[in-house]
Amino acid sequence: MTVLMALAAVCTPVGALPPPAQQAELGAIAARAEAPFALYTLRAGKADALTAAAGMADPAMTRTMSVDTPVRIASNTKTFVAATVLRLYEQGRVALDAPIAGLVDPDLAAILSADGYDPRRITVRHLLSHSAGLYDHGGDPRYVAAMLATPRREWTRKELVALMAEYADPQSPPGTRFQYSDTGYILLGDIIERLTGRSLAAAVREQLRFAELGLTSTWWETLEPQPASALPRARQHIDGRDVSNVHASFDLYGGGGLVMSVRDLATLFAALFEGRVFDDPATLALMTAKGTHEGGDRYRLGLFAQPGQQGDIFSHSGFWGTGVYYDVAQRRVVAVATTRQEFFRRDMVPLALSLLGEPGQCAGRAG
């Protein structure tokens, strides 16, 4: 039985149940889950977290999934790259409306120019909001096919930007519409390194205060060592195929790259909204503000946005099967991960939203 089928056993969202019943319901859902998963939720940073986990992190090693099992979080990384840029903005080290010409590596700027982009017109804000008009190399079927065909290939940042130029021409003028692009966040990763003089991993870790937040199961794959306290990474799958050994450079340079447990993912995401990362509350307001371009209400600066029952819900998901959701009115965060990508949107997203009390997740349930 799938997690979604287990959710059908209750007619109200899990988050609308009395608090003691919520953990019991999560336990029942975990007992019936078809795919391995882990879930961690906090309210206003409190330690009395609701948790759930089911299945095996590594069947061959008989390791079970837990809220502390690290997984590749892929595009969930984008939120934290965006937050790092905003921390540098707080420090006066970058202007959001500055053109990226002169900020990015000249070789990367040359690739953009040769493909018809104008780095003098693309700004940092455009990259953060996916409104730069860049094609998304990461979403192109040819790229996923290349990854599956040559899983151990080591990609460079320059090669990935060049793929964008090879696959397609500019999609729209800068600042006119939302168009999701991994490539834009690869450029942001390069900008962070050039502004700080540090590796992307070191800059993000320092600027977002990983040590102060107690993130013990978080690291940037291949760019820094795995923490000694972290459990082994879970094995992750796409359509039944184990893709755990795909080289990290496939999704490493800012569009993805972090490995985290759901406990750490929830902790860091909540910290962004609850004043434990930014120095100035106005920075969060900037991060969550609607853009004026087409689709600017859907994606802010490193965050998806959707209306909830009581207010905005901000979120992000990752290619391998991870997601995190923050309900501003409730000050509640839910982080989820499954090792089977095909179950993420069907099971994990409804489960996360159900924990936030969203009634749309009860549709069609009896009782």
Residue range 55-99, pLDDT digits in tens: 999 988 889 999 999 999 999 999 999 999 999 999 999 999 999
Q: What per-residue confidence (pLDDT) applies to 12?
A: 80
Q: What per-residue confidence (pLDDT) applies to 10?
A: 45
AA letter at 290: K
Of 1-5, 78-82, 345-349, the poorest mean pLDDT is in 1-5
Burial state string for 158-169 with b = 16 or more CB within 10 A and e = fewer than 16:
bebbbbbbebee
Q: What is the mean pLDDT of residues 149-158?
A: 97
Q: What per-residue confidence (pLDDT) applies to 310?
A: 86
Collapsing DSSP to helix, strand or coil, 135 comes out as coil
Burial state string for 302-323 with b = 16 or more CB within 10 A and e = fewer than 16:
bbbbeebbeebbbbbbbbbbbb
Where residue 20 falls among pLDDT bands split at 50, 70, 90? Answer: confident
What tens digit of pLDDT does each residue of 176-185 get? 999 999 999 9
Give the list of residues 6+ apart from residue 122 with CB closer than 8 angstroms, or none.
Answer: 99, 100, 101, 112, 132, 133, 134, 174
Q: What is the mean pLDDT of residues 36-53?
A: 89
Q: What per-residue confidence (pLDDT) applies to 361?
A: 54
Q: What is the mean pLDDT of residues 104-115?
A: 98
Predicted confidence (pLDDT) at residue 53 exceeds the cutoff of 70: yes
Distances (CA, A) of 312 to 222, 223, 288, 341: 35, 34, 10, 26
Place of tokens 């800068």: 174
Burial state string for 96-130 with b = 16 or more CB within 10 A and e = fewer than 16:
beebbbebbbeebbebbeebebbbeebbbbbbbbb
What tens digit of pLDDT does each residue of 354-364 get? 999 998 554 22
Q: State the CB neighbour count (10 A cutoff) for residue 257.
A: 30
Burial group, residue 41, by CB count within 10 angstroms (0-12, 13-18, 19+):
buried
Predicted confidence (pLDDT) at residue 198 exceeds the cutoff of 50: yes
Collapsing DSSP to helix, strand or coil, 16 comes out as helix
**Closest of 134, 182, 121, 131 to residue 299, by C-alpha:** 131
Burial group, residue 352, by CB count within 10 angstroms (0-12, 13-18, 19+):
buried
Q: What per-residue confidence (pLDDT) applies to 365?
A: 31
| Residue 277 phi, psi dihedral angles, 5° rounding | -120, -55
Predicted confidence (pLDDT) at residue 47 exceeds the cutoff of 70: no
AA letter at 104: V
* Separation between Cα atoms, residue 266 and residue 325, nearest integer Å: 8
Q: What per-residue confidence (pLDDT) applies to 2?
A: 59
Q: What per-residue confidence (pLDDT) applies to 366?
A: 25
What tens digit of pLDDT does each residue of 229-266 get? 999 999 999 999 999 999 999 999 999 999 999 999 99
Of 40-49, 83-92, 219-228, 300-309, the poorest mean pLDDT is in 40-49
Q: What per-residue confidence (pLDDT) applies to 3?
A: 54
**Closest of 143, 87, 83, 119 to residue 300, by C-alpha:** 83
pTM of the full structure: 0.95
Where residue 19 falls among pLDDT bands split at 50, 70, 90? Answer: confident
Q: What per-residue confidence (pLDDT) applies to 48?
A: 72
All domains in the chain, ordered by first residue: 71-333 (3.40.710.10)
* Separation between Cα atoms, residue 280 and residue 284, nearest integer Å: 8
What tens digit of pLDDT does each residue of 279-326 get? 999 999 999 999 999 999 999 999 999 999 889 999 999 999 999 999
What's the half-sphere exposure (Cβ side, CA atoms, 13 Å) at 99? 10
* Separation between Cα atoms, residue 322 and residue 302, nearest integer Å: 15
The token pair that represents 168 in the structure block:
């397609």
Where residue 42 falls among pLDDT bands split at 50, 70, 90? Answer: very high
